[in-house]
């Protein structure tokens, strides 16, 4: 019996030793890394692209030196009850999801802190300014250059009937409805997400313009078309309403708008050629429905995405007798406005031809 007792004690000792060794190893693997004092609280930028698997995230955490063992982290994430057993004072939600984005972590974070950070949604945002007067393709290029989404994906979404139906946009694309603003996007955001944010901002912003939100989809679309042309023509804000009044007067008389901006749109967006230094006489003869030198009325669709100044001007143009305008001070962007063709010709001596 004494021999059996000794054997039992020896086995028990080894079992406890194995358990202790395993516990120590586990503890060593899930504990924060030991780093130098200058790295103790240093921020580590950590990117999680859209669709990244949990194990890939774990491997990248290990590569960044934020954890010691990717496999351990992976299994703790797969079985969050283990996290809550080991880190009782830092509970992790049982239904958490690791979210895409850009996070700032540090070397002193344990598994529970890392998981809570990566599922918090408190990520780094990408601040991005979309200027007035840009087109769908130009905005798509800005988004792609800043790693938000692909330009082609953005263009495809903006021409999606599903998207247009959702927002009751009367045209064939979302051109004109992508409001120019400074946005805070996240890494891995889809093209659809980006487009919807801009469109929803458009409808929110136009509430500030008297009567514009109450227009029918077609009435609103016509105003946006006019605003998109005004946007590309004015340089000084107080002249935008006057330019809108010129175009409105011409529309009422079924006179061509004669807007160089529409010719530039044809050249760059439809024909895919470089932006011209100036519009030539031969350019005004291009056979295209967007050519306001050949065709009276509005263009088939917007030629840019206008801001509030142009939208306000197009929605409520002042009543004037102006039918012409041309640059009088190219440096300041000032125009001279006239009512008759004779006045327009006379003003040419003081101005640079538009």
The listed range with the strongest mean pLDDT (202-206, 279-283, 348-352) is 202-206
pLDDT reported for residue 8 = 58
Beta bridge partners of 43: 106
Residue 103's nearest CA partner among 75, 71, 138, 64 is 64
pLDDT reported for residue 142 = 96
Cα–Cα distance measured from residue 16 to residue 2, given in angstroms and rounded to the nearest whole number: 21
Q: Pick 298 or 73 by higher pLDDT.
A: 298
pLDDT reported for residue 262 = 97
pLDDT reported for residue 231 = 97
Q: Collapsing DSSP states into helix, strand and coil, what is residue 79?
A: coil
> Residue 51: exposed, middle, or buried by beta-carbon count in 10 A (0-12, 13-18, 19+)?
exposed
**Residue 286: is its pLDDT beyond 50?**
yes
What is each CA distance from 99 to 54, 55, 286, in whole angstroms? 10, 14, 50
Structural contact between residues 195 and 158, judged by C-beta atoms closer than 8 angstroms: yes
**Residue 30: is its pLDDT beyond 80?**
no
CA triplet 321, 323, 324: central angle to 5 degrees? 130
Backbone angles phi, psi at 7, to 5 degrees: -60, -45
Return the beta strands (E) in the chain as ranges. 43-48, 101-106, 126-129, 182-185, 324-329, 334-338
pLDDT reported for residue 339 = 87
pLDDT band at 60 (very low <50, low <70, confident <90, very high): very high
pLDDT reported for residue 150 = 94
The listed range with the strongest mean pLDDT (76-85, 186-195, 234-243, 339-348) is 234-243
CA triplet 163, 232, 143: central angle to 5 degrees? 45
**Residue 353: is its pLDDT beyond 50?**
no
Q: Which are the contacts of 336, defined by CB distance < 8 A and separation ≥ 6?
A: 325, 326, 327, 328, 347, 350, 351
Q: Pick 327 or 61 by higher pLDDT.
A: 61
pLDDT band at 38 (very low <50, low <70, confident <90, very high): low
In the DSSP assignment, the letter for residue 17 is H
**Residue 265: is its pLDDT beyond 70?**
yes
pLDDT reported for residue 9 = 59
Instruction: For the chain, give the percent of residues with pLDDT over 70.
Output: 81
Return the beta strands (E) in 24-163 as ranges. 43-48, 101-106, 126-129
| pLDDT tens figures, 125-175 | 888 999 999 999 999 999 999 988 999 999 999 999 999 999 999 999 999
pLDDT band at 186 (very low <50, low <70, confident <90, very high): confident
pLDDT reported for residue 34 = 61
| pLDDT tens figures, 292-338 | 999 999 999 999 999 999 999 999 999 999 998 888 887 877 888 89
CA triplet 160, 169, 130: central angle to 5 degrees? 75
**Residue 354: is its pLDDT beyond 60?**
no
Cα–Cα distance measured from residue 228 to residue 196, given in angstroms and rounded to the nearest whole number: 19
Mean of all residue pLDDT scores within the chain: 85
The DSSP string of 230-257 is: HHHH-SSGGGHHHHHHHHHHHHHTT---
| pLDDT tens figures, 192-237 | 999 999 999 999 999 999 989 899 999 999 999 999 999 999 999 9
pLDDT reported for residue 66 = 87
What is each CA distance from 159 to 130, 260, 266, in whole angstroms? 19, 25, 18
What is the Cα Rg of the chain in Å?
31
Q: Pick 290 or 79 by higher pLDDT.
A: 290
């Amino acid at each position: 019996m004494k021999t059996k007792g000794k054997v039992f004690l020896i086995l028990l000792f080894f079992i406890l030793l194995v358990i202790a060794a395993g516990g120590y190893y586990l503890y060593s693997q899930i504990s924060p890394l030991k780093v130098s004092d200058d790295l103790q609280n240093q921020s580590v930028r950590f990117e999680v692209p859209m669709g990244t698997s949990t194990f890939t995230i774990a491997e990248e955490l290990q590569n960044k030196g934020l954890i010691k063992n990717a496999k351990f982290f992976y299994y703790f994430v797969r079985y969050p009850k283990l996290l809550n057993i080991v880190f009782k004072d830092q509970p992790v939600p049982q239904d958490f999801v690791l979210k895409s984005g850009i996070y700032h972590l540090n070397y002193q974070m344990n598994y529970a802190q890392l998981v809570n950070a990566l599922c918090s949604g408190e990520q780094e945002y990408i601040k991005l300014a979309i200027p007035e007067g840009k087109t769908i393709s130009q905005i798509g290029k800005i988004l792609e250059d800043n790693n938000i989404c692909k330009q082609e994906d953005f263009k495809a979404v903006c021409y999606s009937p599903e998207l247009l139906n959702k927002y009751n946009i009367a045209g064939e694309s979302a051109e004109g409805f992508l409001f120019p603003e400074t946005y805070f996007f996240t890494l891995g955001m889809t093209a659809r997400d980006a487009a919807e944010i801009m469109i929803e901002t458009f409808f929110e912003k136009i509430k500030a313009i008297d009567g514009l939100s109450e227009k029918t989809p077609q009435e609103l679309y016509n105003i946006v078309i006019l605003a998109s042309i005004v946007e590309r023509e004015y340089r000084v804000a107080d002249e935008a309403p006057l330019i809108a009044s010129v175009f409105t007067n011409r529309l009422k008389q079924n006179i061509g708008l004669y807007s160089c901006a529409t010719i530039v749109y044809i050249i760059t967006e439809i024909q895919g050629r470089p932006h011209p230094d100036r519009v030539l006489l031969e350019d005004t003869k291009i056979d295209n429905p967007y050519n306001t030198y050949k065709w009276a009325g509005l263009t088939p669709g917007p030629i840019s995405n206008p801001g509030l100044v142009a939208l306000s001007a197009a929605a409520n143009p002042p009543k004037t007798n102006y039918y012409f305008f041309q640059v009088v001070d190219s440096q300041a962007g000032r125009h001279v406005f006239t009512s008759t063709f004779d006045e327009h010709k006379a003003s040419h001596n003081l101005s640079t031809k538009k």
